[in-house]
Chain A
Amino acid sequence: MLSQRSFALETLVNGRPYALEVGANELLLDVLRNRLGLTATKLSCGIEICGACTVLLDGRPVSACCTLAWEARGRHVETAEGLAAAGRLHPLQRAFVDHFALQCGYCTPGMLMALRALLDEEPQPTEQQIRESLKGNICRCTGYQAIIKATLAAAETMSSAGGRV
């Protein structure tokens, strides 16, 4: 049982183990951005609505800006920086490039992680399922259409590759 103002956070981030002394009051987003230098995940609204700070915690999408770092202990945190493997873009990233599914790019890392979680849950989502699933990820630039198309394309690629990529 841990009952203190700070604790030893042992966590896996994008497959890499980290051990940090972290305050019980610290937010996961701040640990990622400021302590680990992983700046892909962005701060926008700060109240869990926009989704720019979406990361995966043991595969579940969470708002890093309103998640205590406490929640990451013994868990696997995944961010956009971890999607590409050995220099190759993840199918979602590839599809975003091919379908021009980003403009300013600020919502993009969170969007990618939200979609990764969706495709884990639902490998062949319908357009309707994608729309509903993305209601918590705001994009102000693209108008969403290209993002939906990219997701459908990535789902296609990933299902022919056979499973979680």
Chain B
Amino acid sequence: MIPSLSIHTPRTLAEAVEMLDGWGPDAALYAGGTELVVLLKYGLAVYEHLIDLKSLPELQSIEVEDGNASIGAVATYQDLLRHSGLRRQWGELSRMIKQQGNPRVWAAGTLGGNLSFAEPHSDPATLLISWKAELECAGAAGVRRVPVEDFIHGPLQTDLGPSEVITRIILVRQGVRSGTGFQRLSMLERPTANAAVSLGTDGNGRVQRATAVVGAVGPSATRVTDAEEIMVDTTVNELAERAEHIAVVVSESVEPLEDGHGSADYKRHLAGELTRRALLEALAKLGNSGS
């Protein structure tokens, strides 16, 4: 049973920030509640006040324009799945969503909720970081942008200030010649390991930009810069041939934590293998892009 509490419906974002500021640690932001309600039920978190963000339209809308996407932090996964612009232009997002959770999670869960919770065994951050996505946060001091990569500090720890609200997730157009791969393995309810690779090439099949991200195996999703350095400035054919080597580089770079999902040794291997698969997936999509 959840202890008695109050639920508040701010009429504006400014009011929500004011409430947060006023109540401090006694208040929690509430949207889908898929993580929060479980914590409340089992006494893992106690709050006097829940601030229901679902009443704020600026946190729900999804806009896709010129290939850029601005996703409301409180839009549900289901809203994202139903948005044709997102589906067309950011297809891996839909695929990532459908591989995790289940229809009830999609109906209530949100990207904002997921990112602010910062559970290490999770998929969204890995993919978003590969796209160098940013978060827009509103607080008492105003609005700021922070890359997702810098937002998650560690398990259940984020850059979010005490009176801040994630308002939007910003995806910047990756370019005409780009391809992204996302791979994950889950043994249990949450993922054991995941990897995302995003590539962009010039007109001559030369890789201009590359991100490689591994998540779920360590405290937070991390870019593997050692691997990225090898990926950049090669041709796509060379890159395909280097995939095995890149897997080794990744497995040597990551620092997995041993837990109920598996040993550090196995996770290290998975990090490399899933990156290899994500890389090949990204290359395959490059072959199809530009249409």
Contact = CB atoms under 8 A, between A and B. Distances in A.
A–B direct contact (CB < 8 Å): yes
Interface of A: 1-5, 7, 23-27, 46-49, 51, 54, 57, 60-63, 66-68, 70-71, 114, 117-118, 132-133, 135-137
Contact of A67 (B9, B10, B11, B37): B37
Given A25-B2, A25-B3, A62-B108, A135 B102 contact: yes
A63 B104 contact: yes
A8 to B, nearest CB: 13
A60 B105 CA distance: 10
A68 B9 contact: no
A85 B78 CA distance: 29
Interface of B: 1-11, 33-34, 37-38, 40-41, 50, 52, 78, 98, 101-105, 107-108, 189
Contact of B34 (A2, A27, A48, A135): A48
A127 B4 CA distance: 44
Contact of A54 (B8, B104, B189): B104
B6 A66 contact: no
Contacts of B103: 61, 114, 117-118, 133, 136
A48 B41 contact: no
Contact of A24 (B1, B34, B50, B107): B50
A63 B7 CA distance: 20
Contacts of B11: 1
A60 B37 contact: no
Contact of A62 (B9, B50, B107): B107
Contacts, number: 81
A159 B11 CA distance: 43
Given A25-B2, A25-B4, A66-B33, A48 B105 contact: yes
B6 A4 contact: yes
B38 A136 contact: no
B104 A2 contact: no
Nearest to B52: A70
Nearest to B15: A1
Given A24-B50, A66-B34, A5 B5 contact: yes
Contacts of A24: 4-7, 50
Given A117-B103, A136-B105, 12 more contacts: A1-B9, A2-B8, A4-B6, A27-B2, A48-B105, A51-B104, A54-B104, A57-B107, A60-B107, A61-B107, A63-B104, A67-B33
A48 B38 contact: yes
A49 B188 CA distance: 11
Contact of A68 (B37, B101, B102, B189): B37
B33 A3 contact: no
Nearest to B2: A25
A7 B37 CA distance: 18
B6 A48 contact: no
A71 B76 CA distance: 14
28 contacts: A1-B8, A1-B9, A3-B8, A3-B9, A4-B6, A5-B5, A5-B6, A7-B7, A24-B4, A24-B7, A24-B50, A25-B2, A25-B4, A25-B40, A46-B41, A48-B104, A48-B105, A51-B102, A54-B104, A61-B103, A62-B104, A62-B107, A67-B33, A67-B108, A68-B33, A114-B103, A133-B102, A137-B102
Contacts of A1: 8-11
A28 to B, nearest CB: 10
Given A25-B1, A49-B189, A68 B7 contact: yes
Nearest to A118: B103
Contacts of B3: 25
Contacts of A49: 189
Contacts of A67: 33, 37, 108
A47 B50 contact: no
Contact of B78 (A25, A60, A118): A60
A96 B33 CA distance: 32
Given A48-B104, A132-B98, A66 B4 contact: no
Interface pairs A-B: 7 shortest CB-CB: A136-B102, A60-B107, A25-B2, A66-B37, A24-B7, A3-B8, A61-B104
A48 B33 CA distance: 11
Contacts of B8: 1-3
Contacts of B7: 2-3, 7, 24, 68, 70
